[in-house]
Structure 1
Amino acid sequence: MNMMTAPLDAKPAHPQAHVDFAAPDLPMMLPGRPPARYNLPKAWHHFKELVKDKEDTSQVAPIFESLPWRGIYDAALGFLKTERAQEIRRKEPSLVALLDDHDALRKLPKGSLAQVYCDFMEREGLSAQGLVDELDKNRPADMYWDDQVSWYFNRMRDTHDLLHILSGFGRDALGEQCVLAFTYSQQPSPAHLFLGYAGALEIRKHPVKVPVFRAVREAQNMGKACPRLVEMSISELLPLPIEEVRARLNIKPPRFYNEAHATWRAAGIDPYDLMAPVKQAA
């Protein structure tokens, strides 16, 4: 289930385009934000609709709304109250603007995280703004809050493709489930875990058996060992060699994910197209 990507040509106006997220007087958290509550029937309904059409990304946001990270406000406020958080907010009011400026990123050293990021996004035909637009398509207007907590939430969204690159998990079906599990350990919304393992169950039905669940579990442990990426200065990481960034974040190459890919390829199967017919041995 590839649920967190969007094409370059999606460009609706964003409701918070007017907000200066670097403003020193931006409220930390506006009153009236809704509490994080579970709604299991709603989550299950939208999941069943997603299973019917795995490309229907409109079903994803309601699942996350129904299975939220209950400690998200405490985590955001705990970080925002630090001097380091305010320094990062001043420097990086918008990761979308930072990450979509490929002309500037391409001036950074060869082999840097910035260069690898540009290669990945350009090869896949993606943009940071495209992801924002895709997720905003069905988002109610009353879910936008002009405060620092929104800045924190935006960073959780905007680091998704960086997690792909740093973790080594691709945009294939198994890679997406692994990124969801990795993200759960960073941002523990039950929706990440639910979708990650539900997607893994679908992949496991493939006739060529690979360590699907071990790959997802390994990804979950990798996310736990990694400092929370949303709370790190991305502009400080981008110029560094990608292997140095991975070392700083305690990210090691995934064993079971790579093993799964090797097994599929040995069977003549492209991991990015698991619906392709299995080649028969001569």
Structure 2
Amino acid sequence: MHEKLNTEGIDWSGFNHYLKEPGTSTDNASVSRIFTQLGINDLMLEYVMNNTPVAEFIRTRYQAKPIDLSTLLALPPDSFGHQWATLMQANHLNPHFFQNLQEHDDRAYLINRLHDTHDMWHVILDFDTSEAGEAGMNAFTYAQSGSPTTCMLMAAKLVRAVGGSDETRIKMMNNICRGYQLGMTAQPFLAIAWEENWSTKLSDLRELVGIKP
């Protein structure tokens, strides 16, 4: 029998907000903090560190050089950098949306890296930024990293979808299935310095990690 988690003193306000509407960066940080308090983020770290290329990458503490969207938009239209900058600009997205942790251990680096690359993975996987697209991203990230936060956020999206249209629910479920399958079959995304590949053709990057058209 599984040991019952001790949730006494846990602040569920961030997740409760997510159940009602798409959350803020503060809500996301709150949800992640829940799993750190429960010790589940330590299990996530243990899971990814069992993958040698990912563990080696995390230990390098890779940090990308700052770059602005205008520089990336000047790259060829079929490049990864141009496509990412286009996504960010078209959807008015903030590259620094997530609240990164200030600690410097492996767990904090892993969580911060998931934050920093989230929108880049959107481009590689071709998931849009709708609720259904984000659900697909959640499923992929959970498959690749065992992130409890993305699992909980995916669950919140499914709860909100109950009151939506059949079309929305079907698209969401299809994206969740596709995202999870891609996460289980693609190369480990956490082992790649995506920011060193801005000028690479997007199609070549997808082929490199096993994402077929």
Structure 1 segment 153-232 matched on structure 2, within 5 A: 153-209=111-167, 210-211=169-170, 212-232=172-192
Structure-2 separation of matches of 1:219 and 1:158:
19
Note closer, same or farther for the CA distance 1:55–1:157 as it changes in structure 2 (3 Å cut): closer
Matched with 2:30 is 62
Name the residue aligned to 1:248.
Answer: 208
Give the alignment's TM-score, normalised by structure 2. Answer: 0.76
**2:136 and 2:175 in contact (8 A); partners too:** yes
Structure 2, gaps ≥5 residues long? none
Checking the alignment, whether the CA contact within 8 Å between 2:11 and 2:34 is kept in structure 1 is yes
Matches within 5 A, 1:101-112: 101-112=68-79
Equivalent in the alignment of 1:139: none
Alpha-carbon offset, residue 158 of structure 1: 0.4
Q: What amino acid maps onto 1:234 in structure 2?
A: W
Identity of aligned residues (%): 19
Residues 182 and 221 in structure 1, CA contact (< 8 A), matched pair in contact too: yes
Q: 1:48 — aligned with what?
A: 16
Q: Counterpart of 2:77 in structure 1: which amino acid?
A: K
Residue in 1 that maps onto 2:104: 146
| Cα pair distance change 1:80/1:49, threshold 3 Å | closer
Structure 1 217/124 Cα, relative in aligned 2: closer, same or farther at 3 Å? same
Paired with 1:122 and 1:157, the residues of 2 have a C-alpha distance of: 18
Amino acid at match of 2:148: P
Describe the shift of the 1:55–1:190 C-alpha distance in structure 2 as closer, same or farther (beyond 3 A).
closer
Structure 1 residue 178, shift from structure 2 partner: 1.2
Contact 2:58 2:110 in 1 (8 A): no
Deviations 1:192-239 (A, max 9, x none): 122213312322432334523233122111122222222112144322
Change in Cα spacing, 1:207 to 1:71, as seen in structure 2 (3 Å) is closer
Q: Out of 116, 119, 127, which is 2:83 matched to?
A: 116
The structure that has the greater radius of gyration is 1
The amino acid across from 1:232 in the alignment is I
CA distance 1:43–1:186, shift in 2 (3 Å) = farther
- In 2, the alpha carbon distance for the partners of 1:249 and 1:240 equals 13
- Aligned-partner SS, 2:18: helix
Deviation at 1:126, TM superposition (A): 2.2
Please say if 1:71 is aligned against 2:39: no
Q: Aligned partner of 1:71: which letter?
A: L
Counterpart among 87, 93, 96 of residue 63 in structure 2? 93
TM-score when normalising by structure 1: 0.59
Query: 2 CA distance for matches of 1:199 and 1:223?
Result: 19
Which structure ranks higher in relative contact order (CA pairs < 8 Å, sequence separation ≥ 6)? Answer: 2
User: CA 1:81/1:241 → structure 2, altered by over 3 Å: closer, same or farther?
Assistant: closer
Amino acid across the alignment from 2:90: R
Cα drift, residue 65 of structure 1 = 2.3
**Contact 2:142–2:151 at 8 Å: present in 1 too?**
yes
Asked whether the 8 Å contact 1:178–1:220 carries over to 2, the reply is: yes
Task: Rate the CA distance shift 1:65–1:43 in 2: closer, same or farther, 3 A.
Answer: same
